[in-house]
Amino acid sequence: MLRRKCLTNDPAHGNQTAMSRFPIPPSVAIIGAGPAGLFAAEYLSAHGCRVDVFEQMPSVGRKLLMAGRSGLNLTHSEPLDHFLTRYGAAQSWLFPAIHDFPPDQLREWADGLGQPCFSGSSGRVFPRSMKASPLLRAWLARLAKQGVTIRTRHRFTGWGDSKHIRFEIPESTVAFTPDAVLLAMGGASWSRLGSDGEWADLFAAETAPFAPANCGFTPDWSQDFLHRHEGNILHSVGLSFENEKTRGDLTITARGLEGSALYALSARLREAIARDGSATILLDLRPTLPEDAALKRLQAQRPRESLSNRLRKAFALDSTARELLRDATPKDATPHQLTHTLKALPITLTGTDTLDRAISTAGGLRQDALDEHFMIRSRPGVFAAGEMLDWEAPTGGYLLQGCFSTGLAAAKGVLGWLESSVSGIA
């Protein structure tokens, strides 16, 4: 039997491998050119498939490039068992995929593209360049070398009769009939970058509603306060909600609060607000300063100074933090009351910021809609990966790792399915 031989890069193992699989290369359509889709394209083209990647935007990887603007946090270096807990309820679902392609292998893969990584003090892993653009450039060159065709300005609109997949292209429509399809159309935030979530209409019965994840929240603060403090950052503060504590920056926006300290709590806060109508977080304005030491510092200030001056001198609080503290304490508050509130200032959150502004989205194709190879049960030969699946994780590199790992797992699912159903190779 005549089989195609190819010598290419295998992303799962990061080295050159010789493969011979199919008598005639099967065709695979990958829809969505974000990290999940492109990673699947790399694997499948390395394993003897003819791969077309369809992307509705004029260029690929727009969200990945945006992620690189503030430092591309590719993955995280904490131990794998702890790493997996970050996926919450989806942990057992994603476990095989992340175990098969773990953070170390993602680092090796980036290294192979000339983008060696380092771990920051928090354990977050970044390429040394910090950006996504050099990585994406090298990656696209590799895909081109492996024969992957990228078709931009192709908007997937669904299936026609039989197995046709249909696309809107400028001023027309086209149809293709691939042997297998892999969907990687992302979540439903930052729609201007392409992931508009409109694909969910095609899978209404199989999709959990989208909800903002790693998102901002609206506190019960006055518009006047928000307007006056918009853009100000409360640096390195602590937040706690129920038994969970986080640290990081908190930014005041025109609509409320956002920032890494809040994102890490966002899943639980979103659920609490949906259940109870509001959720109260405690803000620690000086998390490295114990309360008794804070009290001594405040008591050491000259009592004749204004409260504002005493707070500034004792704790180096800026005007935003001072106003928050004054508003949260009685006018004649004692030093005890002030330092207690400094360490646990209650903020009542009444809603989330809009879905489109969220870093990522919860919801999407449910686990029960897919088999263990990420094939959509109602559509044999159609697989799905990345953020379009119903899982969520905090920022810290867990999102991209989840997209790469599920991209690879779905690509392996495609290959297995093609081997058994198209070419009869067991």
Ligand X SMILES: Cc1cc2nc3c(=O)[nH]c(=O)nc-3n(C[C@H](O)[C@H](O)[C@H](O)COP(=O)(O)OP(=O)(O)OC[C@H]3O[C@@H](n4cnc5c(N)ncnc54)[C@H](O)[C@@H]3O)c2cc1C
CB closer to ligand X out of 64 and 414: 64
Q: How far is the CB of 60 from ligand X (least distance, A)?
A: 6
CB closer to ligand X out of 87 and 199: 199
Q: How far is the CB of 10 from ligand X (least distance, A)?
A: 20
Cβ contacts of 290 within 8 Å, gap of 6 or more: none
Separation CA 285–CA 325 (nearest Å): 9
Separation CA 8–CA 23 (nearest Å): 18
CB closer to ligand X out of 209 and 346: 209
User: Closest by alpha carbon to 343, among 265, 283, 261?
Assistant: 283
Q: How far is the CB of 354 from ligand X (least distance, A)?
A: 13
For 78, 81, 107, 120, 127, the CA distances from 124, given in Å and listed in that order, are: 8, 16, 12, 5, 10
Q: How far is the CB of 76 from ligand X (least distance, A)?
A: 9
CB closer to ligand X out of 96 and 158: 158
Contact 281, 240 (CB under 8 A): yes
Tokens at 228, concatenated? 């006056």
CB closer to ligand X out of 199 and 241: 199
Q: How far is the CB of 155 from ligand X (least distance, A)?
A: 5
Longest CA–CA separation in the chain, Å: 94
Strand ranges for 231-284 from DSSP E:
233-241, 244-252, 257-258, 279-284
CB closer to ligand X out of 23 and 134: 134
CB closer to ligand X out of 335 and 407: 407
Backbone angles phi, psi at 406, to 5 degrees: -75, -30
Tokens at 204, concatenated? 């209404």
For 74, 84, 371, 377, the CA distances from 96, given in Å and listed in that order, are: 19, 10, 13, 19
Q: Please give the torsion angle defined by the CA atoms of residues 423, 143, 170 and 181, in that order, rounded to the nearest 10 degrees.
A: 30
Q: How far is the CB of 142 from ligand X (least distance, A)?
A: 17
Residue-by-residue DSSP string for 189-207: S-GGGT---GGGGGGGGGE
Give the count of beta carbons closer than 10 Å to the beta carbon of residue 158. Answer: 11
For 136, 220, 237, 258, 345, the CA distances from 230, given in Å and listed in that order, are: 34, 15, 17, 11, 19
Q: How far is the CB of 325 from ligand X (least distance, A)?
A: 31
CB closer to ligand X out of 40 and 272: 40
Chain residues that interact with ligand X, rule: CB under 6 A: 31-37, 54-57, 62-64, 66-67, 72-73, 155-156, 184-186, 190, 194-195, 199, 359-360, 386-387, 397, 399-400, 403
Using DSSP's 3-state secondary structure scheme, residue 343 falls into: helix
Tokens at 341, concatenated? 């509130």
Q: How far is the CB of 261 from ligand X (least distance, A)?
A: 16
Q: How far is the CB of 324 from ligand X (least distance, A)?
A: 26
CB closer to ligand X out of 85 and 309: 85
